[in-house]
Chains A and B, each alone.
Chain A
C-alpha cells in the first residue's frame, strides 16, 4: 500500500479566500485524483491530476475554482479558490497504481465561515 501525506488535515477559512491542499506519496504512482466528500455523502471525483499537463475535470468542476498542479509522480496540490460556505467539505487525495489498486489520504476537513 501507499503512504499518502495530505496537508493540512483541517482548516477554517474566511469566505473569499483560497486554500491549497498538498498530497505527497511515498512512491511514484500512475494516477492521482482529487475527491470531495460532503458530510454523510459518498465521494465525488473533482479531477484527475495529470503529471506535466492540465488536470482533467469532471462535470461541475472547473479549473478556475479548483486549480490543480502535479509537478511530478509523487506530489499534487488542489486549491479551493474564492471559497464560500458551500465549499465546506472533506477533500481527499487518491493514488492509483498500474494494477488499479487505489489508496486515499486522510483527507482535509475544510470549513468556510
Chain B
C-alpha cells in the first residue's frame, strides 16, 4: 500500500520568511496530493491540492510542486504570518480510496 513520509516534523520561521514542507510517496499510481492545515481544536482543512498531470499549482501565498519521477511533492508558504501557525498534513491518494497521510509538520511563525 501507499506510504507517505513528511519532513520536517517541526518548523519555526520568522514572520515574513518562507516555509517549505516536503513529502515523499511510494505508490507510483497515486494521482492526487492534497495538503491540509489543522488548527488547534479543529478538523483538517484542505488548503491546496495538486493532481499528477500538473507540476505546480499556486494560490496566493501558498504553492505546491510535484515531481512524479522522484515521487515527492512540497508545500511552499511565502511571506508567512502568525496565523499560518498550525499543523500541516500532506496526503496521497489513488482514485476513490482513503487518503494516506504523512505524520504532520508543526509550523510556528514567530512574530
Interface residues of A (CB under 8 A from B): 1, 4, 6, 30-31, 33, 41-43, 45, 48, 92, 94, 96, 98, 100-107, 109
Within 8 A of A (CB), among B89-111: 89, 91, 93, 95-96, 98-99, 101-104
In the complex formed, the residue of A with least CB distance to B31 is: A100
12 sample A-B contacts, Cβ–Cβ < 8 Å, listed by A number = A1-B46, A6-B43, A33-B98, A42-B89, A45-B99, A102-B34, A102-B99, A103-B46, A104-B36, A106-B42, A107-B43, A109-B41
Interface of A is mostly: strand
Interface residues of B (CB under 8 A from A): 31-32, 34, 36, 41-46, 49, 89, 91, 93, 95-96, 98-99, 101-104
In the complex formed, the residue of B with least CB distance to A93 is: B43
Contact for B43 among A31, A41, A42, A105, CB less than 8 A: A105
In the complex formed, the residue of B with least CB distance to A6 is: B43
Q: Tell me, rounded to whole Å, the shortest Cβ–Cβ distance linking A25 to chain B.
A: 13
Q: Tell me, rounded to whole Å, the shortest Cβ–Cβ distance linking B46 to chain A.
A: 6
Inter-chain CA distance A18–B89, complex, in Å, is: 30
Contact for A42 among B31, B34, B96, B101, CB less than 8 A: B101
Residues in B with CB closer than 8 Å to A45 are: 98-99
Residues in A with CB closer than 8 Å to B41 are: 109
Residues in B with CB closer than 8 Å to A101 are: 34, 46, 49
Q: Tell me, rounded to whole Å, the shortest Cβ–Cβ distance linking A76 to chain B.
A: 14
CB pair B89–A43 under 8 Å, yes or no, is yes
CB pair A100–B89 under 8 Å, yes or no, is no
Residues in B with CB closer than 8 Å to A100 are: 31-32, 93, 95-96
Contact for B103 among A31, A42, A103, A107, CB less than 8 A: A42
In the complex, besides A100-B96, A101-B34, 9 extra interface pairs with C-beta distance below 8 angstroms are: A1-B46, A4-B43, A45-B98, A92-B43, A98-B96, A102-B46, A102-B99, A104-B45, A107-B42
